[in-house]
């Protein structure tokens, strides 16, 4: 293991897209000192994480390719990488100009960007290694932060960054382990007989991903989406241009306004922006209301996908530049009350689906291949097999049940939840009432006694709001802040600390 001369040791917990943005940001910063980077990830294949594993072609990313980059300063990086690969004759089945690309392809991009960042760091004398293991605990020690893994490895680091991803779907009805219940449906290419009716619990973006993957691969039996509110995600519309001055002015107003007046002031500014673009508040009310039949809503929103005066086109582009600042400046009690009262409805707008997906769903609703039901109140396993889903007072039988219920807190049984529970018990992190753990807004450092502990992506949602914490461009901007702080912090001497066990190298990074 070529670590002898490394002066700084950095451990990354989790090997998904956030970890890739971090390693890439580190490589681009061309650090002068030698760094030993260790990525701990239980999956054999670091890079794709949960959403971008090997999957069916029909399972598409739900953001356009021009917004799917690991570098916020180069939003076209994925698009350009794909064009170059196409010119070399790679991926002949893929249209590099399509706006919405297959999930597996983004996984290839992540793997390759990780490999090239590792190569760039190696050229400067640093190393990047991966360990196929789960991090079970992090302990403060004199020389830094000691990591304990599921494979019994201990390793001391100067800095640890937790890139734990989103919680797995919530098992609200205690069905895990029952035959026919798929607790986590990603990747979406699982073996389901084409003629078997499928019920998906949830109607959010993940539920739609599942329905689309099934429909595209020619599932012949009906697919049913069932949830409490039956609300599908909105249809993505073409975003209106925001001038840099507009974003700057709004950010400045958010920064200047006292917290107590923030909500009112921002509402006034957003109303002014809507009026300037001729956008109607009525459309906003309809989009956020409950109860509109799915087919009618899809038809209406598909008709508005290119409308420059659609409120979603006017306001959503502000989320990346201003959203996290606004969220962080709101008093915590306002944030909590917002999450409780508005988040579920707003999430349908913040996580929209591609228009092609909406068109496919609409067609399937019309032919009866798809049904959307609201009013789910209970799901029980039948003693004779299968499940009963009660919705609006009626019982529906389901043989196969795919779980897409969005979870807010991490489950203490899953690796991320287990680790955070241990760190909470030892006082290293403090759970945030709005999700994840408390972090310092400027640096992503976890607030607590360990100066070398950071979080990136979803575990920062309480302070950065989940829409920003989950946007890759937002994650990349935050990764750069972490890198800047790490490189300017004195090393704790972890590199000199004796290790009770050597690191098991489970993954190889190849291009």
Ligand X SMILES: Cc1cc2nc3c(=O)[nH]c(=O)nc-3n(C[C@H](O)[C@H](O)[C@H](O)COP(=O)(O)OP(=O)(O)OC[C@H]3O[C@@H](n4cnc5c(N)ncnc54)[C@H](O)[C@@H]3O)c2cc1C
- Least distance in Å: CB of 394 to ligand X? 29
Q: Which residue has the tokens 């390759």?
A: 112
Length of the chain, in residues:
511
Name which of 153 and 307 has its Cβ closer to ligand X. 153
Name the packing angle between helices 355-367 and 205-216 (round to 10°): 70
Q: Decide: helix, strand or coil at residue 51.
A: coil
Percent of the chain that is helix, strand, coil (3-state, to 5): 40, 15, 45
How near is the Cβ of 218 to ligand X at its closest, in Å?
A: 22
3-state SS, residue 485: helix
* Complex with ligand X: residue 415 or 452, whichever CB lies closer: 415
C-beta closer to ligand X: residue 139 or 295: 139
- The closest alpha carbon to 18, from 477, 509, 485, 472, belongs to 472
State the nearest-atom distance from the C-beta of 419 to ligand X, in Å: 4
- Pick between residue 168 and residue 304 the one whose CB is nearest to ligand X: 168
What does each C-alpha distance from 445 to 6, 43, 331, 484 come to in angstroms?
Answer: 23, 26, 20, 12
Residue closer to ligand X, measured from CB, 131 or 199: 131
Rounded to 5°, the CA angle 211-212-215 comes to: 85
Nearest distance, CB of residue 203 and ligand X, angstroms: 15
Between 41 and 283, whose beta carbon lies closer to ligand X?
41
Q: What is the nearest approach in angstroms of ligand X to the Cβ of residue 48?
A: 7
Cβ contacts of residue 414 below 8 Å, gap of 6+? 167, 168
Dmax over CA atoms of the chain, in Å, equals 67
CB of 170 to ligand X, least distance (A): 13
Q: Which residues contact 365 (CB under 8 A, 6 or more apart)?
A: 294, 295, 298, 371, 372
Question: Which residues bind to ligand X, rule: CB under 6 A?
Answer: 13-19, 40-43, 49-51, 61-63, 68, 134-135, 163-166, 186, 206, 415-416, 419, 457-458, 470, 472
Cβ atoms of 321 and 255 within 8 Å: the answer is: no
Q: Which is nearer to ligand X, 128 or 164 (CB)?
A: 164
d(CA 211, CA 219): 9
Minimum separation from the CB atom of position 129 to ligand X (A): 14
Minimum distance from residue 78 beta carbon to ligand X (Å): 10
Helix H, strand E, coil C: the string for 387-413 is EEEEECCEEEEECEEEECCCCCCCCCC
Q: Tell the smallest beta-carbon distance from residue 4 to ligand X (Å).
A: 26
- Reading the block at residue 431, the tokens are 């759970």
How buried is residue 397: exposed, middle or buried, by Cβ count under 10 Å (0-12/13-18/19+)?
Answer: exposed
Smallest distance, ligand X to C-beta of residue 390, A: 26
Whole-angstrom Cα distance, residue 485 to residue 465? 22
Nearer to ligand X, 135 or 365 (CB): 135
Residues 6+ apart with CB under 8 A from 487: 29, 31
Nearer to ligand X, 219 or 418 (CB): 418
Name which of 151 and 443 has its Cβ closer to ligand X. Answer: 151
């Amino acid at each position: 293991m070529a670590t002898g001369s490394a002066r700084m040791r950095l451990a990354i917990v989790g090997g998904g897209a956030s970890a890739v943005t971090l390693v890439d940001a580190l490589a681009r910063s061309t650090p002068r000192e030698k760094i030993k980077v260790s990525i701990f990830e239980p999956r054999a294949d670091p890079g794709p994480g949960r959403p971008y594993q090997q999957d069916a072609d029909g399972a598409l990313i739900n953001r356009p390719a021009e917004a799917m980059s690991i570098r916020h300063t180069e939003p076209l990086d994925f698009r350009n990488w794909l064009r170059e690969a196409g010119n070399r004759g790679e991926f002949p089945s893929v249209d590099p100009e399509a706006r919405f690309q297959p999930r597996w392809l983004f996984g290839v991009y992540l793997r390759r960007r990780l490999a090239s960042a590792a190569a760039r760091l190696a050229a400067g004398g640093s190393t990047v290694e991966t360990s196929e293991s789960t991090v079970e605990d992090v302990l403060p020690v004199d020389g830094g932060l000691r990591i304990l893994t599921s494979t019994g490895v201990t390793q001391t680091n100067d800095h640890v960054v937790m890139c734990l991803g989103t919680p797995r779907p919530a098992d609200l009805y205690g069905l895990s382990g029952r035959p026919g219940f798929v607790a986590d449906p990603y990747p979406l290419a699982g073996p389901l007989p084409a003629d078997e009716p499928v019920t998906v619990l949830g109607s959010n973006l993940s539920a739609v991903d599942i329905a689309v993957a099934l429909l595209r691969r020619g599932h012949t039996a009906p697919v049913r989406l069932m949830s409490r509110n039956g609300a599908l995600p909105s249809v993505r519309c073409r975003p209106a241009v925001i001038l840099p001055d507009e974003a700057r002015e709004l950010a400045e107003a958010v920064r200047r306004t006292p917290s107590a007046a923030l909500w009112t002031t921002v509402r006034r500014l957003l109303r002014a922006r809507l009026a300037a673009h001729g956008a109607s508040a009525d459309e906003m009310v309809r989009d956020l209301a409950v109860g509109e039949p799915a087919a009618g809503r899809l038809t209406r929103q598909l008709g508005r996908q290119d409308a420059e005066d659609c409120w979603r086109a006017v306001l959503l582009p502000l989320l990346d530049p201003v959203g996290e600042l606004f969220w962080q400046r709101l008093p915590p009690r306002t944030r909590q009350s917002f999450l409780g009262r508005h988040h579920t409805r707003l999430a349908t707008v913040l996580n929209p689906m591609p228009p092609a997906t909406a068109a496919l769903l609409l067609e399937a609703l019309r032919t009866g291949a798809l049904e959307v039901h609201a009013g789910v109140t209970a799901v029980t396993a039948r003693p004779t097999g299968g499940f009963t889903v009660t919705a609006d007072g009626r019982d529906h039988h389901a043989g196969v049940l795919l779980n897409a219920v969005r979870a807010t807190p991490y489950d203490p049984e899953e690796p991320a939840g287990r680790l955070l529970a241990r760190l909470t018990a030892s006082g290293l992190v403090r759970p945030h009432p709005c999700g994840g753990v408390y972090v310092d807004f400027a640096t992503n450092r976890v607030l607590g006694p360990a100066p070398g502990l950071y979080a990136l992506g979803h575990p920062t949602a309480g302070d950065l709001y989940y829409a920003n914490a989950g946007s890759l461009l937002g994650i990349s901007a935050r990764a750069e802040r972490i890198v800047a702080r790490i490189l300017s912090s004195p090393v704790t001497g972890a590199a000199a600390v004796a290790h009770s066990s050597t690191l098991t190298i489970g993954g190889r990074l190849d291009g």
